[in-house]
Structures are given as structure tokens and as C-alpha cells.
Structure 1
Amino acid sequence: MDPSAAVPAEPHADRRLRVVLADDQDLVRAGFRVILGAEPGIEVVGEAGDGDEAVAVTTRTEADVVLMDVRMPRVDGLEATRRILGTAPGAPAGPVGARVIILTTFDREDYLFEALHAGASGFLLKNAAPEDLIDSVRVVARGDALLSPEVTRRVIARFAGRTAPAPGAAGWRPPELTDREFDVLVSLARGASNAEIAGRLFMGETTVKTHVSRVLTKLNLRDRTHAVVYAYENGIVAPGRE
């Protein structure tokens, strides 16, 4: 993960969320466009049938959220995500505020774990209910919640073991974090929402949000999803261990 990647600013409250749809299947894009286009406060500002188009459209429209398929012609969704978010080697910084949601059917989970490293903020199943699609766009645009915790944890748990843990052995903890911030990081890694963290740690949700923000800032992480990746890769939590 690029330590220099800043946490994108929230979209302005006085304008609609700008969404780009990137998928090589016309029917998928059409279905998402109908659902999102009917939702107040959300605007589909562009579509793309391959990764090259996705990068161009996202840059031109200054989109807030990109719904990105992985397997597309010419340039795939992984490389497009890297280019949009500026995580490709030698790439310029991506559009300010852009976040990527990976569209998945779970037939290639290794793609998805790689997408997290590319900077994607989470996953959405292509057969998701309309209300889940709408909620996912809003959640990721805010950057204040982990998208689809059960989906994200499934991918991370399966593939975290393939990467060598960074510096410490079991029990290592980031020296930058206070005890309370570390507890919040552990809860994040287990897919807990702000409300669940507040209940577990006996604190208010506003305090939880403050701690989450400090964890992301101190560890130079893009968002909550990447805090989960960080925790697994560094051995702070392990698949199947509570």
C-alpha cells in the first residue's frame, strides 16, 4: 500500500454523488444505471466497457465512486484501479476523492485480494439487491464504513496467509497506536461496524469515529478496508482467530 495515499475528502454535501460504471457487459451497466439513476443524490456520470475507458471517464468526470468489473478487455479492472487511484508504479496521483468498488461473482478471489492492494475500497456482488447497491455507493463515498464485511473478510482470510507478515511475530502491534486505537484496529479487522465497536469497547460512536480516523492517519492507510488488510498482513489478527 502506498503510504503517501491520502484519505480522500468526502464529497460536498450540496451536490450529488458522481458514479462511473465500468463493466464490459451492457446489461450489467444498464441495470445498475437504472437503480442508481432513480436514487436522489446519486448521478451516473459515465460508463466504460474496458479499463482504459474507465480511467478516462473517471478522470474526465471527477467521479466520487467507480463500480469496477475485474475482467474486461484491453485493460482489466485491476490495472484500471491502480491507474485511477495512483497506486501503479510510477503513476501520477489519481483523481482526488475517487474510490473504487470491485464488482465480483467470486469465481476468482485472488483477483479481489490483489484489488485491495491496488487501492479498491471494497466489493459488491453482481447479484446484490438494489438497496445494497445504493447503500454501498453511499458508504464508500463517505469512507466511514467497511463495505460488505462478510465478503471482504472472506477474501482476506483466504489470501492473507499467502503474504509474509511484516516485521513482528505473533503479538506484534504498531508502536504508533495507543492501546485504545489498537483495540479499534483489531475490531475493524474483524469486520465490526462503528456501532459494534462502540458496544464492544464501551465507548460512544463519535469516539469510535475519532479513533478510526487516528488509526488511518497514523498508519497511512487509505480507508477501513485497508486497515483490515494491514491487520492481517502484519499478524495482528489471523483467519479464524478471534
Structure 2
Amino acid sequence: MTLLPHDRYCAEIAHQVEQLRAVVTSGADLAATVPTCPDWTLEQLVLHMGGVLRWSGTLVRTRAQENIDDELVPRGDGPETPGDAAALDAWLAEAGELVVDALREAGPDAKVWSWAESPNAGFWARRMAHEITVHRADATLAAGLPYEVAPDIAADSIDEWLELVELMGRRKETEQPLRAGGSIHLHATDAAPELNAEWFVQGTEEGFVRRRGHEKATVALRGPLTSVLLAFYRRLPLDARELEVVGERELLESWLERATFG
């Protein structure tokens, strides 16, 4: 798959940080449970996201060639005042600036440790763009706020998800999410034709193969691109009114239960 430009990912991280900060300062209850991440409150979700931004930014800034300990991440555990929306907002803003500045200064080809197959800053730009895109959805849904994401980012997020799930399967770190011969078709009904926002995923004995395009499958998931993204990340139920499931629903449900990279 063709990646987006490095600066596009950097710009999206900055944008998503601003959007997440708007949730923090919206008056939403920071102690409320996040429905899509029920082990976290809204505050804990933001602390996780800001901590990950700071960790990855530190990796890139120091050109780390191996993983780094949490204590080496500046202010990685959050602001000094728990439960304070203003302090959390300022801490998150600083985290966004740190990672975006580090990524832009490094450029995509700078050698940096990663847990995937691309040990460079470009991997972290893409990973953080999609990490915060999805966790911002968690936050906005918890706060009862509307959520949208740019079409190019949403489509690339689906691509990256498939790539990482495939990687974990090749490493035998997770069970294969799709039975041999079974197939899934994702179809974004509102995307511009040039985006080619359709995906075909087919199970094999070794794992699965994937490609962009319109092909008949065992089961199809259809709907607006943002909704398809959220459903594929298990942030939106398949019964959501804007989604349509055609074919063997159980196969898609099995994929959603098994597909993971962490």
C-alpha cells in the first residue's frame, strides 16, 4: 500500500491532539467510564494517549535503537494535579508538540527502534496518527460528542490495521483471525472513487491476504467510511443504523473478536 506523506501524518497528529484537547476542555466528566475501553475513565484514556505520544516522541528524538524505560520519558505519567482538566489539557498539548517536533525534525527515514518491521521515524508518525485517531473516537463517544475523520486518514488507518494484524499472525503472536477460504469485503459508500475505499480480505492456511478493490466475499460490511473504520476497530456495533452487513455475519464477528496486534 502507498503510504501518506510523512508531513501528512505529522499534521494529523497535531490536529488530533487539538481535537482531543477540545474533549478534555468540553466539560465532560473526566471520571466517566469510556464505553469502548471500559477499563479506563476518560482521564485515564487521555493519560494513556499523552503518555504514548511522549514515549514515541522520546524514541524518535533520541534515535533510540532499543525500547526505552518509562522513567526516561519526560513527564510521561501525567500532570501533577489529577482530575484537573486545565492541567490535563496543558500536559496533552505539550505531548503533541514534543512528538510532532521530533518527527518533523527526524524525517521518515531516521533509524529508530520499533516493534514492527519498519525501524524508522516514519513508522512512528503513521502509528501515532492512527493511535490517536482511534482513541479520540473513544473519548468523543464517551463525552457524547460528534466524531469525524479525514477520508485519507480513515482509509490509511484500515490499511495499517490490516498490516499489523497480518504481521502479528506471521509472528505467531496471535491466532489467525480468518478461517481459510473465508473472506471479508469492506465498502465505504461515501468515499470519492479515487480513494478506492474498498478492501478484500481472504483467509488462507497460512493467514490471510488483503488488497484494495471490490470483490464478492463471504460477508460484506458497508457504510460511511468513518463508520466502517470504527466498526472494524470495534468502536461501533455492527447493528449501528448506518452500517449494513451482507452475508455470513458470524465470520465478521469472529474476525472482530480475534483480530488484534497487541
Q: Is the TM value for this pair above 0.5?
A: no
TM-score (norm 1): 0.32
Q: Which has the larger radius of gyration?
A: 2
TM-score (norm 2): 0.30
